[in-house]
């Protein structure tokens, strides 16, 4: 028997538990087939626990999570809890405390999946966003003065340090070198594009741009460097997605452009991401929300959670198993599902999990 990986599972809210169960099913099938073990420990952080105890993600839990090889997260967000409490208290707290400074979000159109982009297919939509995951307006300070009066002022600053920018760029360049289009046999060069806003955010993205070119020139001369303003990035995602290979950007722009990316790859049912600390504990999640209206109906699409599990295995070094999961997902999208939308798949949530698990174990 090969290695054993200790994995913390946080199913979370809404449809999170349903999709997480399918991701776990597929992880177990892949583990069995490829000769390793997954040792799972479940945690109940989420809206229900918050309502019961007032606790989001206590410091003791963060300390405990540090001991795992990886974390699988379902979804966070509860209709009875005010926006921000669970997101900041659980999801963002885990990202920041565990210093998961990369948010890796592949945008890949699988065969058989419908994209809203006319005349674009799987050969056109195949890129990866490396979103910085610890800085920007997410952690900049802010506050109100004269709150509630007509003179009220609100300030929220976007902050980046050279250290944060450099470590993110290094990851992105390394990623482009190993997984860019040339590395994948899909072109004659690997390209890293910086998405920023150097015409308005003349401090933050000036720093990013200088750091980008300095590092690229000195350490990654073979990687082609491109720059796009973030608004233009959105435009080209829709018009010419085939231009993109690996994209690196700050936290806020990364949040926004990856929702657009998710839509062009077929929707939130398929979009997965990894909150990665290359030197520590990473956390993988479907990037969509908890979709409370579908809770318990068995109609939600588990493929995003399953793909998140695949990304987890890739990061743990189980590349073959990760590849088998991706191939199995592609088989299912190409040959089985009628649609990726909740309730329209032609199969239930657990049947989709079964289909992928069976194929991955072949
Ligand atoms: C995401 C989400 C989160 C973010 C929210 C829920 C805090 O939108 O993972 O993209 O903004 O990062
Ligand atoms: Mn988002």
Is 109 within the bounds of a domain?
A: no
Choosing from 14, 255, 271, 286 the residue with most ligand 1 atoms within 8 A of its CB, the one to mutate for a pocket test is 255
**CB of 193 shorter than 6 A to ligand 1:** no
Which residues are placed with Cβ below 5 angstroms of ligand 2, an ion?
255
Tell me the pLDDT of the chain averaged across its residues. 97
106 part of a folded domain = no
Residues 81 and 39 in one domain: yes
- Examine the pLDDT at 351 and tell me if it is beyond 90: yes
pTM of the model: 0.97
Angle (CA) 98 205 172, round 5°: 50
**Same domain? 4 vs 85:** yes
Cβ of residue 287 lying under 6 Å from some atom of ligand 1:
yes
The answer to whether residue 107 is domain-embedded is no
Q: Which atom of ligand 1 is nearest to the CA of 103?
A: 9
What is the pLDDT, as a whole number, of residue 2?
77
Which pLDDT score, from 0 to 100, does residue 258 have?
98
| Domain co-membership, 175 together with 281 | no
Last residue of a domain, one of 225, 242, 265: 265
Does a structural domain hold residue 309? Answer: yes
Q: Considering its fold, how many domains does the chain have in total?
A: 2
Contact indicator for 341, 301 with CB cutoff of 8 Å? yes
272 lines ligand 1 (CB under 6 A): no
Query: What's the pLDDT at 170?
Result: 98
> Which residue, chain included where needed, has tokens 């449809």?
15
Q: Is 255 in the pocket of ligand 1 (CB under 6 A)?
A: yes
Among residues 266, 341, 269, 360, the alpha carbon closest in space to that of 308 is found at 269
For 190, counting Cβ atoms within 10 Å of its Cβ (0-12 exposed, 13-18 middle, 19+ buried), the class is buried
pLDDT tens-place string over residues 205-259: 999 999 999 999 999 999 999 999 999 999 999 999 999 999 999 999 999 999 9
H or E segment and range at residue 6 = strand 4-12
Q: Does the Cβ of 87 fall within 6 Å of ligand 1?
A: yes
Distances in whole angstroms, Cα of residue 83 to Cα of each of 43, 79, 152: 22, 9, 22
Same domain for 277 and 257? no
pLDDT (mean) for 136-148: 96
Q: Which of 215, 234, 265 is the last residue of a domain?
A: 265
- The confidence score (pLDDT) of residue 349 equals 98
> Is 247 in a helix, a strand, or coil?
strand
Contact between 162 and 205 under an 8 Å Cβ cutoff? The reply is: no
Q: Are residues 123 and 240 in the same domain?
A: yes
pLDDT above 70 as % of the chain? 100
Q: Is residue 110 part of a domain?
A: no
Q: Are residues 244 and 277 in the same domain?
A: no
Q: Which of 248, 265, 282 delimits the end of a domain? A: 265
Residue 259: give its domain's CATH number.
3.40.718.10
Residue 29 lies in a domain: yes
pLDDT of 57 higher than 90: yes
How much distance in Å is there from the Cα of 264 to the middle of ligand 2?
15
235 and 140 share one domain: yes
Give yes or no: residues 175 and 252 share one domain. yes
Q: Are 286 and 308 in contact (CB under 8 A)?
A: yes
Tell me: do 120 and 228 sit in the same domain. yes
The residue-averaged pLDDT of 158-182 equals 98
- Asked if the model's pLDDT at residue 1 lies above 70, the reply is no
Residues of the domain holding 61? 1-101+269-362
For residue 292, pLDDT beyond 70: yes
User: Do 171 and 33 share a structural domain?
Assistant: no
Pair 260, 304 in one domain: no
Of the residues 10, 87, 258, which should be mutated to test ligand 1's pocket, given the most ligand atoms within 8 Å of the CB? 87
Contact 86, 47 (CB under 8 A): yes
Residue owning the nearest CA to atom 8 of ligand 1: 255
**One domain for residues 319 and 347:** yes
Which pLDDT band holds residue 198 (cuts at 50, 70, 90)?
A: very high
Please give the average per-residue pLDDT across 84-93, as a whole number.
Answer: 96
DSSP 32: H
Rounded to whole angstroms, the Cα distance separating 351 from 299 reads 10
39 CA to middle of ligand 1, Å?
A: 28
């Amino acid at each position: 028997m090969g290695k054993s990986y200790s994995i913390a599972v946080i199913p979370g809210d809404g449809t999170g538990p349903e999709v997480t169960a399918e991701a776990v099913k597929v992880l177990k099938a892949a583990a069995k087939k490829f000769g390793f073990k997954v040792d799972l420990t479940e945690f109940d952080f989420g809206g229900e626990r918050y309502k019961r105890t007032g606790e989001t993600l206590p410091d003791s839990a963060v300390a405990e999570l540090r001991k795992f090889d990886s974390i699988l997260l379902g979804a966070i967000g509860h209709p009875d809890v005010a926006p921000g409490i669970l997101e900041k208290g659980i999801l963002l707290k885990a990202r920041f405390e565990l210093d998961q400074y990369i948010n890796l979000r592949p945008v890949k159109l699988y065969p058989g999946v419908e994209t809203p982009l006319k005349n674009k297919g799987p050969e056109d939509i195949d890129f990866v966003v490396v979103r910085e995951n610890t800085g920007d307006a997410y952690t900049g300070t802010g506050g109100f003065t004269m709150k509630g009066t007509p003179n009220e002022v609100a300030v929220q600053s976007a902050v980046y340090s050279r250290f944060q920018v450099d470590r993110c760029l290094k990851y992105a360049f390394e990623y482009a070198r190993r997984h860019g289009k040339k590395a994948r046999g899909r072109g004659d060069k690997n390209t890293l594009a910086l998405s920023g806003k150097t015409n308005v955010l003349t401090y933050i993205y000036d720093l990013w741009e200088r750091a980008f070119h300095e590092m690229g020139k000195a350490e990654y001369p073979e990687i082609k460097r491109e720059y796009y303003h973030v608004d233009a990035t959105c435009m080209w995602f829709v018009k010419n997605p085939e231009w993109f290979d690996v994209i690196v950007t700050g936290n806020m722009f990364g949040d926004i452009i990856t929702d657009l990316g998710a839509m062009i790859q077929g929707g939130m049912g398929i979009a997965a991401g990894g909150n990665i600390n290359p030197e520590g504990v990473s956390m993988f999640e479907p990037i969509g929300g908890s979709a409370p209206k579908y809770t318990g109906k068995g109609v939600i699409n588990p493929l995003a959670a399953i793909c998140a599990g695949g990304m987890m295995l890739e990061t743990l070094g189980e590349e073959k198993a990760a590849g088998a999961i991706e191939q199995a997902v592609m088989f299912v999208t190409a040959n089985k599902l009628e649609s990726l939308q909740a309730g329209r798949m032609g199969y239930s949530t657990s049947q989709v999990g079964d289909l992928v698990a069976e194929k991955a174990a072949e």
